A and B are shown apart, each in its own frame.
Chain A
Amino acid sequence: MLTDLLGFPPQVLFGQLLLGLINGAFYAVLSLGLAVIFGLLNIVNFAHGALYMLGAFATLGLTQYLGIGYWGALIFAPLIVGAIGVGLERVLLRRLSGIDHLYGLLLTFGLALVIEGTFVKLFGASGIPYPTPEALQGGVNLGFMFLPFYRGWVVVASLAVCVATWYLFERTKIGAYLRAGTENPRLLQAFGVNVPLLTTLAYGYGVALAAFAGVLAAPITQVNPLMGSNLIIVVFAVVVIGGMGSIMGAVVTGLSMGIIEGLTKVFWPEASSTVIFVVMAIVLVLRPAGLFGKPA
Chain B
Amino acid sequence: MNKFLGYLIVLALALAAPLVIYPVFLMKLLCFALFASAFNLILGYGGLLSFGHAAFFGGAAYISGHALKVWGLPTELGILVGALSAGVLGLAIGTLAIRRQGIYFAMITLAMAQMAYFVFISSPFTGGENGLQGVPRGTALGLIDLTNDRAMYYFVLAICLAGFLLIARAVHSPFGQVLSAIRDNEDRARSLGYDIERYKLLAFVLSATLAGLAGATKTVVFQLASLTDAHWHMSGEVVLMTLLGGLGTIAGPAVGAGIIVTLQNYLASGPLAAWVPVVLGVIFVTCVLSFRRGVVGELREFLRRSF
Give chain A's interface residues, CB within 8 Å of chain B: 38, 44, 92, 95-96, 99, 101-103, 105-107, 109-118, 120-121, 230, 233-234, 236-237, 239-240, 270, 273-274, 277-278, 280-281, 284-285, 288-289, 296
**Residues of A contacting B289 with CB < 8 Å?**
92, 95-96, 107
Query: Assuming the A-B contacts A106-B239, A240-B107, are A113 and B232 also in contact, with contact meaning beta carbons closer than 8 angstroms in the complex?
Result: no
A102 pairs with B102, CB closer than 8 A: yes
A284 touches B100 (CB 8 A): yes
- B285 proximal to A (CB < 8 A): yes
* B30: interface (CB < 8 Å): no
User: Which chain A positions have C-beta within 8 A of B49?
Assistant: 102, 105-106
Q: Are A121 and B278 in contact (CB under 8 A)?
A: yes
Is B103 touching A101 in the complex (CB atoms < 8 A)?
yes
Determine whether the beta carbon of B281 is less than 8 Å from that of A111.
yes
Q: Which residues on the B side are within 8 Å of A237 (C-beta)?
A: 107, 111, 114
* Mask of B244-287 contacts with A, CB within 8 angstroms, 1/0: 00000000000000000000000000000011111011111101
- The DSSP consensus for interface residues of chain A is helix
CB neighbours (8 Å) of B100 from chain A are 240, 284, 288-289
* Pairwise interchain contact A113-B236, C-beta atoms closer than 8 A: yes
CB distance from A95 to the nearest CB of B (A): 6
User: Given A102-B106, A113-B280, A120-B277, is A284 in contact with B96 using a C-beta cutoff of 8 Å?
Assistant: yes
Does B99 have its Cβ within 8 Å of any Cβ on chain A? yes
> Once the chains are docked, how many angstroms separate the CA of A289 from the CA of B108?
12
Contact between chains at B292 and A103 (CB < 8 Å): yes
In the complex, the answer to whether B96 meets A281 with C-beta atoms within 8 Å is yes
* In-complex Cβ contact of A114 among B110, B278, B287, B288 (8 A): B278
Q: How far is the CA of A7 from the CA of B122 in the complex (A)?
A: 26
Contacts of A230 in B (CB 8 A): 114
Q: Which residue of B lies closest to A47 (CB)?
A: B281
Interchain nearest-CB distance for A233 vs B (Å): 5
- List the interface of chain B (C-beta within 8 A of A): 49, 51, 96, 99-104, 106-108, 110-112, 114-115, 118-119, 122, 232, 236, 239, 243, 274-278, 280-285, 287-289, 292
B118–A111 touching, CB < 8 Å: no
Q: Shortest beta-carbon distance, A84 to chain B, in Å?
A: 15
Given A111-B281, A284-B100, answer yes or no on A44-B106 (Cβ-Cβ < 8 Å).
yes
Residue contact A285 to B96, C-beta cutoff 8 Å: yes
| A107 and B115 within 8 A (CB) | no
**Distance of A224 Cα from B103 Cα, bound (Å):** 28
Other CB < 8 Å A-B pairs besides A103-B288, A112-B281, A273-B122, 7 of them? Answer: A101-B103, A109-B236, A113-B284, A233-B111, A278-B115, A281-B112, A288-B99
Q: Are B107 and A107 in contact (CB under 8 A)?
A: no
| Distance A288 CA – B282 CA, assembled complex (angstroms) | 35
- Assess whether A117 is in contact with B281, with CB atoms less than 8 Å apart: yes
Instruction: Evaluate contact between B102 and A109: CB separation under 8 angstroms.
Output: no
Cα A181 to Cα B280 with chains together (Å)? 34
The residue in chain B whose Cβ has the minimal distance to the Cβ of A113 is B281
Task: Determine if A92 and B111 form an interchain contact, defined as CB atoms under 8 angstroms apart.
Answer: no
Q: Is the CB of B112 within 8 A of A277?
A: yes
Shortest Cβ gap from A90 to chain B (Å): 13
Q: Are B285 and A111 in contact (CB under 8 A)?
A: yes
| B-chain residues with CB within 8 Å of residue A239 when the two chains form the complex | 107
Distance, CA A233 to CA B106, complexed state (A) = 11
Of listed B99, B236, B243, B281, residue having the most chain A CB within 10 A: B281
Q: Are B277 and A113 in contact (CB under 8 A)?
A: yes
CA distance A274 to B236 in the complex (A): 21
Residues of the B chain whose Cβ atoms lie less than 8 Å from the Cβ of A111: 281, 285
CB atoms of A105 and B119 under 8 A apart: no
Contacts of A270 in B (CB 8 A): 122
CB contact between B103 and one of A95, A102, A112, A280 (< 8 Å): that residue: A102
**Closest CB-CB distance, B211 to chain A, in whole Å?**
19
Cβ–Cβ < 8 Å partners of A112 in chain B = 281
Give the residue of B111, B278, B285, B292 whose beta carbon is less than 8 angstroms from that of A117: B278
Q: Do B278 and A113 touch (CB < 8 A)?
A: yes
Among B100, B243, B283, B292, chain A packs the most CB atoms within 10 A around the CB of B100
Q: What residues of chain A lie closer than 8 Å to B110, measured between beta carbons?
A: 233, 236
Residue of B at shortest CB range from A233? B114
- Is A107 within 8 A of B285, CB to CB? yes
Closest to B279 in A: A117
Within the complex, the shortest CB–CB distance from A227 to chain B, in Å, comes to 16
Smallest CB separation, B235 vs chain A (Å): 10
User: B243 near A106 (CB under 8 angstroms)?
Assistant: yes
Separation of A114 and B275 alpha carbons in the complex (Å): 9
Q: How far is the CA of A15 from the CA of B106 in the complex (A)?
A: 35
Known contacts A103-B292, A113-B236, A121-B274; A284 and B108 CB within 8 A of each other: yes
A240 engages B236 (CB within 8 Å): no
How long is the Cα–Cα vector from A234 to B112 in the complex, in angstroms?
A: 10
Contacting B115 at CB < 8 Å: which of A101, A103, A274? A274
CB neighbours (8 Å) of B277 from chain A are 113-114, 116-117, 120
Give the contacting residue for B282; candidates A110, A280, A285; CB below 8 A. Answer: A110
The CA-CA distance from A79 to B280 in the complex, in Å, is 29
Residue ID in chain B nearest A285 by CB atoms: B96
